[in-house]
Amino acid sequence: MLSLTNKRILLGITGGIAAYKSAELTRTLVKAGAEVRIAMTPAATEFITPLTMQALSGNRVHLGLLDSETEAAMGHIELARWADLVVIAPATADFIARMAHAQADDLLTTLVLASVAPIAVAPAMNQAMWGDTGTQANLELLRQRGVHVWGPGSGEQACGDVGLGRMIEPDEIATHCASMFEASKLAGKRFLITGGPTREAIDPVRFISNHSSGKMAYALAAEAAAEGAKVTLVSGPVQLSTPESVERIDVESAEEMYAAVMAAVASADVFIGVAAVADYRPTAVANEKIKKTEAEMVIKLVKNPDIISSVSEHSARPFVAGFAAETENVVANGQEKLERKGLDLLFANHATDTFNSDSVAVTALTKDGQQELGPGNKHTVARAMLSLIAEQLKAISKGHAG
Protein backbone atom coordinates (compact mmCIF):
# COMPACT_ATOMS: atom_id res chain seq x y z
CA MET A 1 0.00 0.00 0.00
CA LEU A 2 1.26 3.47 -0.90
CA SER A 3 2.65 5.17 2.23
CA LEU A 4 3.71 8.76 2.66
CA THR A 5 3.19 8.96 6.41
CA ASN A 6 4.43 12.27 7.85
CA LYS A 7 6.01 13.33 4.57
CA ARG A 8 5.67 17.06 3.81
CA ILE A 9 4.79 17.72 0.18
CA LEU A 10 4.51 21.16 -1.34
CA LEU A 11 2.19 20.92 -4.35
CA GLY A 12 2.48 23.69 -6.92
CA ILE A 13 -0.43 24.16 -9.32
CA THR A 14 -0.05 26.17 -12.52
CA GLY A 15 -2.60 27.39 -15.05
CA GLY A 16 -3.59 24.45 -17.23
CA ILE A 17 -6.80 22.49 -17.71
CA ALA A 18 -5.13 19.53 -15.96
CA ALA A 19 -5.36 21.53 -12.72
CA TYR A 20 -8.60 19.65 -12.04
CA LYS A 21 -6.47 16.52 -11.53
CA SER A 22 -4.60 18.28 -8.73
CA ALA A 23 -7.67 17.91 -6.53
CA GLU A 24 -7.55 14.12 -6.85
CA LEU A 25 -3.76 14.17 -6.40
CA THR A 26 -4.13 16.10 -3.15
CA ARG A 27 -6.76 13.69 -1.88
CA THR A 28 -4.52 10.71 -2.75
CA LEU A 29 -1.47 12.18 -1.04
CA VAL A 30 -3.40 13.05 2.12
CA LYS A 31 -4.97 9.58 2.20
CA ALA A 32 -1.45 8.10 1.98
CA GLY A 33 -0.47 10.00 5.11
CA ALA A 34 1.28 13.06 3.67
CA GLU A 35 0.88 16.62 4.87
CA VAL A 36 0.16 18.70 1.79
CA ARG A 37 0.50 22.43 1.39
CA ILE A 38 -0.43 24.12 -1.84
CA ALA A 39 0.86 27.10 -3.79
CA MET A 40 -1.09 28.25 -6.84
CA THR A 41 -0.23 30.65 -9.63
CA PRO A 42 -2.84 33.31 -10.47
CA ALA A 43 -3.71 31.44 -13.68
CA ALA A 44 -4.30 28.21 -11.74
CA THR A 45 -7.11 29.84 -9.76
CA GLU A 46 -9.00 30.31 -13.04
CA PHE A 47 -9.22 26.53 -13.41
CA ILE A 48 -9.78 25.34 -9.83
CA THR A 49 -10.57 27.36 -6.73
CA PRO A 50 -8.26 27.79 -3.75
CA LEU A 51 -11.23 26.93 -1.52
CA THR A 52 -11.45 23.46 -3.09
CA MET A 53 -7.74 22.85 -2.58
CA GLN A 54 -7.89 24.15 0.99
CA ALA A 55 -10.75 21.76 1.80
CA LEU A 56 -8.89 18.79 0.35
CA SER A 57 -5.49 19.56 1.88
CA GLY A 58 -6.70 20.87 5.22
CA ASN A 59 -4.26 23.76 4.94
CA ARG A 60 -4.42 27.37 3.82
CA VAL A 61 -3.56 27.77 0.13
CA HIS A 62 -0.68 30.09 -0.72
CA LEU A 63 -1.37 32.46 -3.60
CA GLY A 64 0.82 35.54 -3.65
CA LEU A 65 4.44 36.42 -3.10
CA LEU A 66 3.58 39.77 -1.54
CA ASP A 67 1.15 38.50 1.09
CA SER A 68 1.37 40.89 4.05
CA GLU A 69 0.10 38.24 6.47
CA THR A 70 2.94 35.83 5.76
CA GLU A 71 5.80 37.83 4.32
CA ALA A 72 6.44 39.72 7.53
CA ALA A 73 8.03 36.44 8.62
CA MET A 74 9.47 35.69 5.14
CA GLY A 75 6.70 33.16 4.60
CA HIS A 76 7.87 31.97 1.19
CA ILE A 77 11.27 31.02 2.63
CA GLU A 78 9.67 29.20 5.53
CA LEU A 79 7.38 27.29 3.18
CA ALA A 80 10.34 26.32 0.98
CA ARG A 81 12.23 25.08 4.04
CA TRP A 82 9.18 23.16 5.27
CA ALA A 83 8.89 20.86 2.25
CA ASP A 84 10.43 17.39 2.00
CA LEU A 85 9.43 17.34 -1.67
CA VAL A 86 8.18 19.96 -4.14
CA VAL A 87 5.86 18.75 -6.92
CA ILE A 88 4.54 21.01 -9.69
CA ALA A 89 1.42 19.36 -11.16
CA PRO A 90 0.37 20.44 -13.67
CA ALA A 91 3.52 22.15 -14.94
CA THR A 92 2.68 24.24 -18.02
CA ALA A 93 5.13 25.06 -20.80
CA ASP A 94 5.28 28.66 -19.54
CA PHE A 95 6.09 27.63 -15.98
CA ILE A 96 8.73 25.13 -17.14
CA ALA A 97 10.34 27.92 -19.21
CA ARG A 98 10.39 30.33 -16.28
CA MET A 99 11.66 27.65 -13.93
CA ALA A 100 14.40 26.58 -16.36
CA HIS A 101 15.71 30.14 -16.52
CA ALA A 102 15.59 30.65 -12.74
CA GLN A 103 12.96 33.36 -12.77
CA ALA A 104 11.41 34.37 -9.45
CA ASP A 105 8.52 36.56 -10.51
CA ASP A 106 5.75 34.91 -8.49
CA LEU A 107 5.34 32.83 -5.34
CA LEU A 108 5.76 29.42 -6.96
CA THR A 109 8.92 30.18 -8.95
CA THR A 110 10.38 31.79 -5.83
CA LEU A 111 9.59 28.70 -3.75
CA VAL A 112 11.32 26.51 -6.31
CA LEU A 113 14.49 28.61 -6.15
CA ALA A 114 14.43 28.81 -2.36
CA SER A 115 13.89 25.09 -1.72
CA VAL A 116 16.69 22.57 -1.22
CA ALA A 117 14.20 19.69 -1.31
CA PRO A 118 13.90 17.39 -4.33
CA ILE A 119 11.75 18.97 -7.04
CA ALA A 120 9.56 17.24 -9.63
CA VAL A 121 7.41 18.53 -12.46
CA ALA A 122 4.47 16.78 -14.14
CA PRO A 123 4.21 18.47 -17.56
CA ALA A 124 0.80 19.21 -19.07
CA MET A 125 0.42 20.95 -22.42
CA ASN A 126 -0.63 20.65 -26.04
CA GLN A 127 1.28 17.99 -27.98
CA ALA A 128 2.84 20.58 -30.32
CA MET A 129 4.03 22.65 -27.34
CA TRP A 130 5.53 19.51 -25.78
CA GLY A 131 7.38 18.68 -28.99
CA ASP A 132 8.72 22.20 -29.49
CA THR A 133 12.53 22.34 -29.36
CA GLY A 134 12.38 25.22 -26.87
CA THR A 135 10.31 23.21 -24.42
CA GLN A 136 12.61 20.21 -24.74
CA ALA A 137 15.66 22.43 -24.21
CA ASN A 138 14.07 23.86 -21.07
CA LEU A 139 13.36 20.38 -19.76
CA GLU A 140 16.96 19.35 -20.41
CA LEU A 141 18.13 22.32 -18.34
CA LEU A 142 15.88 21.19 -15.49
CA ARG A 143 17.11 17.60 -15.70
CA GLN A 144 20.71 18.80 -15.60
CA ARG A 145 19.86 20.57 -12.33
CA GLY A 146 18.41 17.38 -10.86
CA VAL A 147 14.72 18.15 -11.36
CA HIS A 148 12.60 15.03 -11.86
CA VAL A 149 10.29 15.01 -14.89
CA TRP A 150 7.28 12.73 -14.46
CA GLY A 151 5.46 12.18 -17.73
CA PRO A 152 3.78 13.36 -19.79
CA GLY A 153 1.31 10.74 -20.95
CA SER A 154 -0.15 10.30 -24.40
CA GLY A 155 -3.77 10.49 -25.49
CA GLU A 156 -6.62 12.80 -26.42
CA GLN A 157 -6.17 16.37 -25.20
CA ALA A 158 -8.65 19.08 -24.23
CA CYS A 159 -7.94 20.94 -27.48
CA GLY A 160 -8.87 17.89 -29.53
CA ASP A 161 -5.31 16.93 -30.48
CA VAL A 162 -3.93 13.47 -29.75
CA GLY A 163 -0.36 12.87 -28.62
CA LEU A 164 2.14 13.40 -25.82
CA GLY A 165 1.41 16.18 -23.38
CA ARG A 166 -1.27 14.93 -20.97
CA MET A 167 -0.41 15.14 -17.30
CA ILE A 168 0.03 11.63 -15.95
CA GLU A 169 -2.67 10.39 -13.61
CA PRO A 170 -2.73 11.40 -9.92
CA ASP A 171 -2.08 7.86 -8.65
CA GLU A 172 1.04 7.66 -10.82
CA ILE A 173 2.31 10.97 -9.44
CA ALA A 174 1.56 9.83 -5.88
CA THR A 175 3.53 6.64 -6.49
CA HIS A 176 6.47 8.65 -7.79
CA CYS A 177 6.27 10.77 -4.62
CA ALA A 178 6.38 7.67 -2.43
CA SER A 179 9.38 6.31 -4.33
CA MET A 180 11.34 9.43 -3.41
CA PHE A 181 11.29 8.34 0.23
CA GLU A 182 10.92 4.57 0.43
CA ALA A 183 13.80 2.13 0.51
CA SER A 184 12.98 0.08 -2.55
CA LYS A 185 12.86 -3.68 -2.81
CA LEU A 186 14.43 -3.34 -6.27
CA ALA A 187 17.17 -0.88 -5.36
CA GLY A 188 20.35 -1.66 -7.26
CA LYS A 189 18.84 -4.47 -9.34
CA ARG A 190 19.70 -4.30 -13.04
CA PHE A 191 16.70 -4.71 -15.34
CA LEU A 192 16.83 -5.34 -19.08
CA ILE A 193 13.43 -4.83 -20.73
CA THR A 194 12.33 -5.07 -24.36
CA GLY A 195 9.30 -3.18 -25.62
CA GLY A 196 7.26 -2.10 -28.60
CA PRO A 197 7.01 -3.77 -32.01
CA THR A 198 9.75 -4.63 -34.47
CA ARG A 199 9.68 -3.67 -38.15
CA GLU A 200 10.86 -6.15 -40.75
CA ALA A 201 11.68 -4.34 -44.00
CA ILE A 202 10.24 -5.43 -47.34
CA ASP A 203 11.66 -2.52 -49.33
CA PRO A 204 12.79 1.03 -48.42
CA VAL A 205 9.20 2.16 -47.67
CA ARG A 206 7.33 -0.96 -46.51
CA PHE A 207 7.67 -3.31 -43.58
CA ILE A 208 5.95 -6.09 -41.61
CA SER A 209 4.97 -5.10 -38.07
CA ASN A 210 2.15 -5.28 -35.48
CA HIS A 211 -0.07 -3.08 -33.31
CA SER A 212 2.09 -3.01 -30.16
CA SER A 213 2.19 0.49 -28.62
CA GLY A 214 5.01 -0.23 -26.15
CA LYS A 215 2.95 1.17 -23.26
CA MET A 216 3.29 -1.93 -21.06
CA ALA A 217 7.07 -2.09 -21.42
CA TYR A 218 7.43 1.64 -20.79
CA ALA A 219 5.21 1.39 -17.70
CA LEU A 220 7.36 -1.45 -16.36
CA ALA A 221 10.56 0.47 -17.10
CA ALA A 222 9.25 3.61 -15.41
CA GLU A 223 8.02 1.77 -12.32
CA ALA A 224 11.18 -0.32 -11.99
CA ALA A 225 13.31 2.83 -12.16
CA ALA A 226 11.04 4.49 -9.59
CA GLU A 227 11.70 1.48 -7.33
CA GLY A 228 15.43 2.10 -7.54
CA ALA A 229 16.36 -0.40 -10.26
CA LYS A 230 18.88 0.39 -12.97
CA VAL A 231 16.87 -0.07 -16.15
CA THR A 232 17.91 -0.56 -19.76
CA LEU A 233 14.99 -0.47 -22.21
CA VAL A 234 15.54 -1.90 -25.70
CA SER A 235 12.72 -0.34 -27.68
CA GLY A 236 11.22 -0.88 -31.07
CA PRO A 237 9.70 2.16 -32.83
CA VAL A 238 7.05 3.78 -30.58
CA GLN A 239 5.65 7.25 -29.92
CA LEU A 240 6.52 7.37 -26.22
CA SER A 241 8.91 9.44 -24.10
CA THR A 242 11.80 7.70 -22.37
CA PRO A 243 10.95 7.20 -18.69
CA GLU A 244 13.04 9.12 -16.20
CA SER A 245 16.33 7.44 -15.18
CA VAL A 246 15.94 4.76 -17.87
CA GLU A 247 18.61 4.02 -20.48
CA ARG A 248 16.88 3.54 -23.84
CA ILE A 249 18.32 1.71 -26.84
CA ASP A 250 16.32 2.21 -30.04
CA VAL A 251 16.12 -0.59 -32.59
CA GLU A 252 13.99 -1.36 -35.65
CA SER A 253 14.19 -5.05 -36.53
CA ALA A 254 14.13 -8.28 -34.53
CA GLU A 255 17.75 -8.92 -35.41
CA GLU A 256 18.75 -5.49 -34.10
CA MET A 257 16.80 -6.12 -30.89
CA TYR A 258 18.46 -9.52 -30.51
CA ALA A 259 21.93 -7.98 -30.89
CA ALA A 260 21.18 -5.23 -28.35
CA VAL A 261 19.81 -7.72 -25.80
CA MET A 262 22.69 -10.15 -26.19
CA ALA A 263 25.17 -7.31 -25.71
CA ALA A 264 23.55 -6.33 -22.40
CA VAL A 265 22.21 -9.54 -20.89
CA ALA A 266 25.37 -10.59 -19.06
CA SER A 267 25.07 -7.62 -16.69
CA ALA A 268 21.32 -8.00 -16.03
CA ASP A 269 19.70 -9.39 -12.89
CA VAL A 270 16.24 -9.45 -14.46
CA PHE A 271 15.14 -9.71 -18.09
CA ILE A 272 11.54 -8.90 -19.05
CA GLY A 273 10.62 -9.65 -22.64
CA VAL A 274 7.63 -7.42 -23.34
CA ALA A 275 8.33 -6.57 -26.98
CA ALA A 276 6.04 -7.91 -29.69
CA VAL A 277 8.88 -9.30 -31.79
CA ALA A 278 8.06 -10.34 -35.35
CA ASP A 279 8.36 -14.11 -35.66
CA TYR A 280 9.46 -13.88 -39.31
CA ARG A 281 11.26 -11.48 -41.65
CA PRO A 282 11.57 -11.37 -45.45
CA THR A 283 14.49 -13.40 -46.77
CA ALA A 284 15.38 -10.53 -49.10
CA VAL A 285 14.83 -6.77 -48.90
CA ALA A 286 14.39 -4.90 -52.19
CA ASN A 287 16.81 -2.01 -52.71
CA GLU A 288 14.11 0.08 -54.41
CA LYS A 289 10.39 0.48 -53.85
CA ILE A 290 8.55 -2.51 -55.28
CA LYS A 291 6.19 -1.45 -58.07
CA LYS A 292 2.63 -2.73 -58.39
CA THR A 293 3.04 -4.59 -61.66
CA GLU A 294 1.74 -8.09 -60.94
CA ALA A 295 -1.66 -9.33 -59.74
CA GLU A 296 0.05 -11.23 -56.93
CA MET A 297 3.27 -10.86 -54.97
CA VAL A 298 4.91 -13.60 -52.94
CA ILE A 299 7.20 -12.71 -50.07
CA LYS A 300 9.32 -15.54 -48.69
CA LEU A 301 9.87 -15.34 -44.93
CA VAL A 302 12.45 -16.79 -42.58
CA LYS A 303 12.30 -17.17 -38.79
CA ASN A 304 13.73 -14.42 -36.62
CA PRO A 305 15.98 -15.26 -33.66
CA ASP A 306 14.07 -16.20 -30.50
CA ILE A 307 15.26 -13.52 -28.09
CA ILE A 308 13.71 -14.72 -24.84
CA SER A 309 14.79 -18.35 -25.40
CA SER A 310 18.33 -17.16 -26.06
CA VAL A 311 18.30 -15.17 -22.82
CA SER A 312 16.92 -18.16 -20.92
CA GLU A 313 19.75 -20.33 -22.26
CA HIS A 314 22.51 -17.74 -21.71
CA SER A 315 25.46 -18.74 -19.56
CA ALA A 316 24.96 -15.63 -17.43
CA ARG A 317 21.22 -16.23 -17.21
CA PRO A 318 19.22 -13.56 -15.32
CA PHE A 319 15.73 -14.02 -13.87
CA VAL A 320 13.57 -14.27 -17.02
CA ALA A 321 9.99 -13.04 -17.34
CA GLY A 322 8.03 -13.09 -20.57
CA PHE A 323 4.68 -12.09 -22.02
CA ALA A 324 2.21 -14.09 -24.06
CA ALA A 325 -0.38 -12.08 -25.96
CA GLU A 326 -2.84 -14.74 -27.12
CA THR A 327 -6.12 -14.66 -29.04
CA GLU A 328 -7.43 -17.97 -27.59
CA ASN A 329 -6.72 -20.37 -24.72
CA VAL A 330 -4.76 -17.63 -23.00
CA VAL A 331 -3.72 -19.48 -19.85
CA ALA A 332 -3.08 -22.86 -21.52
CA ASN A 333 -1.00 -21.32 -24.29
CA GLY A 334 0.84 -19.16 -21.78
CA GLN A 335 1.68 -22.16 -19.58
CA GLU A 336 2.99 -24.05 -22.60
CA LYS A 337 5.21 -21.09 -23.54
CA LEU A 338 6.50 -20.78 -19.96
CA GLU A 339 7.62 -24.39 -19.96
CA ARG A 340 8.85 -24.57 -23.55
CA LYS A 341 11.08 -21.53 -23.23
CA GLY A 342 12.26 -22.25 -19.68
CA LEU A 343 10.99 -19.00 -18.15
CA ASP A 344 10.74 -18.15 -14.46
CA LEU A 345 7.55 -16.12 -14.88
CA LEU A 346 5.12 -15.35 -17.68
CA PHE A 347 2.32 -12.79 -17.96
CA ALA A 348 -0.45 -14.01 -20.26
CA ASN A 349 -3.24 -11.85 -21.61
CA HIS A 350 -5.63 -11.49 -24.52
CA ALA A 351 -3.84 -9.67 -27.35
CA THR A 352 -6.82 -7.60 -28.53
CA ASP A 353 -7.42 -6.26 -25.00
CA THR A 354 -3.99 -4.70 -24.55
CA PHE A 355 -2.67 -3.27 -27.85
CA ASN A 356 -2.85 0.55 -27.74
CA SER A 357 -4.81 0.45 -24.48
CA ASP A 358 -3.91 2.21 -21.22
CA SER A 359 -5.34 -0.63 -19.13
CA VAL A 360 -4.56 -4.32 -18.89
CA ALA A 361 -5.40 -7.54 -17.08
CA VAL A 362 -2.95 -10.45 -17.03
CA THR A 363 -2.54 -13.90 -15.55
CA ALA A 364 0.87 -14.34 -13.93
CA LEU A 365 2.09 -17.90 -14.46
CA THR A 366 4.89 -19.81 -12.74
CA LYS A 367 5.63 -23.50 -12.59
CA ASP A 368 3.87 -23.55 -9.20
CA GLY A 369 0.63 -21.76 -10.05
CA GLN A 370 -1.08 -18.64 -11.33
CA GLN A 371 -2.28 -15.25 -10.10
CA GLU A 372 -4.59 -12.66 -11.61
CA LEU A 373 -3.27 -9.08 -11.85
CA GLY A 374 -5.64 -6.28 -12.86
CA PRO A 375 -7.61 -5.13 -14.65
CA GLY A 376 -6.16 -1.70 -14.09
CA ASN A 377 -4.02 1.09 -15.46
CA LYS A 378 -0.82 -0.33 -16.98
CA HIS A 379 1.32 1.51 -14.42
CA THR A 380 -0.75 0.07 -11.57
CA VAL A 381 -0.51 -3.44 -12.99
CA ALA A 382 3.22 -2.91 -13.68
CA ARG A 383 3.76 -2.26 -9.97
CA ALA A 384 1.97 -5.51 -9.15
CA MET A 385 4.14 -7.35 -11.69
CA LEU A 386 7.31 -5.91 -10.17
CA SER A 387 6.17 -6.86 -6.66
CA LEU A 388 5.73 -10.42 -7.87
CA ILE A 389 9.18 -10.39 -9.47
CA ALA A 390 10.66 -9.04 -6.23
CA GLU A 391 9.01 -11.88 -4.30
CA GLN A 392 10.41 -14.43 -6.75
CA LEU A 393 13.90 -12.94 -6.47
CA LYS A 394 13.68 -13.05 -2.68
CA ALA A 395 12.62 -16.68 -2.75
CA ILE A 396 15.47 -17.59 -5.09
CA SER A 397 17.93 -15.75 -2.85
CA LYS A 398 16.69 -17.62 0.22
CA GLY A 399 16.94 -20.92 -1.65
CA HIS A 400 20.56 -20.24 -2.55
CA ALA A 401 21.33 -19.19 1.02
CA GLY A 402 19.77 -22.40 2.32
Options 51, 128, 137, 159, the catalytic residue: 159
Distance from C-alpha of 277 to C-alpha of 273, rounded to nearest angstrom:
9
The answer to whether the annotation marks 307 as part of a ligand binding site is yes
- In whole angstroms, what separates CA 338 from the centre of its chain? 26
The answer to whether the annotation marks 337 as part of a ligand binding site is yes
SS3 of residue 195 by DSSP: strand
Buried b (16+ CB within 10 A) or exposed e, 206-223: ebbebebbbbbbbbbbbb
The answer to whether the annotation marks 305 as part of a ligand binding site is yes
The answer to whether the annotation marks 279 as part of a ligand binding site is yes
**Integer CA distances (angstroms), 177 to 89, 93, 167, 182, in order:** 12, 22, 15, 9
Hey, CA dihedral for 227, 233, 235, 239, is it positive or negative? positive
Distance from C-alpha of 344 to C-alpha of 151, rounded to nearest angstrom:
31
In 3D space, the residue among 256, 244, 254 whose CA is nearest the CA of residue 276 turns out to be 254
The answer to whether the annotation marks 367 as part of a ligand binding site is no
What type of residue is 4? L
The answer to whether the annotation marks 323 as part of a ligand binding site is yes
In 3D space, the residue among 134, 151, 143 whose CA is nearest the CA of residue 97 turns out to be 134
SS3 of residue 9 by DSSP: strand
177 is an active site residue:
no
The answer to whether the annotation marks 341 as part of a ligand binding site is yes
The answer to whether the annotation marks 106 as part of a ligand binding site is no
Buried b (16+ CB within 10 A) or exposed e, 147-163: bbbbbbbbeebeeeeeb
Buried b (16+ CB within 10 A) or exposed e, 242-278: ebbebebbebbbbbbbbbbbeebbeebebbbbbbbbb
Contact 65, 79 (CB under 8 A): no
Q: Cis ω on the peptide bond leading into residue 375 (within 30° of 0)?
A: yes
What type of residue is 124? A
The answer to whether the annotation marks 21 as part of a ligand binding site is no
- In whole angstroms, what separates CA 105 from the centre of its chain? 32
In 3D space, the residue among 88, 104, 91 whose CA is nearest the CA of residue 39 turns out to be 88
SS3 of residue 401 by DSSP: helix
Distance from C-alpha of 341 to C-alpha of 309, rounded to nearest angstrom:
5
* Catalytic site positions: 159
Please enumerate, by residue number, every residue annotated as part of a binding site for CTP.
279, 289, 305-308, 323, 337, 341
